[in-house]
């Protein structure tokens, strides 16, 4: 599987079109489509990996572990945790109250391990 194909597949799994991914990563218009025929720059690939919540190594096909070499969820700040959980489709409230960062870390770890 090529890098482009892996990006396309991962974006689809995350409910994103390539155009949405391109915009979320703040890349030049339609640049991801150009990766069908050439390798992306390390900087652009890193931006895409961050939006998708996977490692660059995963997108390159060097590993099947989506989160190899990614930030440790234990060290993520509250904003990053909330965004990561939102991307996983998780609710950030329980019984009408915001869940704590401690529980967000636990929930994120569970969701990532289920994949």
pLDDT in tens, 11-61: 999 899 999 999 999 999 999 999 999 999 999 999 999 899 898 889 998
Within 10 angstroms of residue 114's Cβ, the number of other Cβ atoms is 7
**Residue spans per domain, the chain:** 3-60, 73-114
Q: Which architecture characterizes domain 3-60 according to CATH?
A: Orthogonal Bundle (1.10)
State the first-to-last Cα distance of the chain, in angstroms, to the nearest integer: 19
Contacts of 35 (CB under 8 A, 6+ apart): 3, 4, 7
pLDDT in tens, 49-88: 989 989 888 999 888 877 765 444 444 455 566 666 667 6
Place of tokens 């909330």: 82
Question: Measured between alpha carbons, how far is 111 from 32 in angstroms, rounded to an integer?
Answer: 27
Length, in residues, of the chain: 115
User: Residue 114: pLDDT band by 50, 70, 90 thresholds?
Assistant: low
Predicted confidence at residue 73, as pLDDT, reads 46
Q: How distant is the alpha carbon of residue 33 from its chain centre?
A: 18
Which of the 8 DSSP states describes residue 73? G
Helix (H, G, I), strand (E, B) or coil at 97: strand
């Amino acid at each position: 599987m090529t890098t482009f194909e892996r990006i396309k597949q991962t974006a689809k799994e995350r409910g994103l079109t390539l155009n949405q991914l391109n915009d979320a990563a703040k890349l030049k218009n339609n640049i991801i489509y150009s990766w069908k025929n050439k390798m992306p720059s390390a900087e652009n690939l890193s931006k895409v990996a961050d939006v998708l919540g996977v490692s660059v190594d995963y997108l390159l096909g060097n590993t099947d572990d989506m989160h190899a070499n990614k930030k440790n969820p234990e060290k993520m700040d509250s904003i990053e945790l909330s965004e990561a959980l939102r991307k996983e489709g998780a609710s950030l409230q329980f019984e009408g109250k915001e869940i704590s960062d401690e529980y967000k870390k636990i929930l994120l770890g569970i969701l990532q391990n289920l994949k």
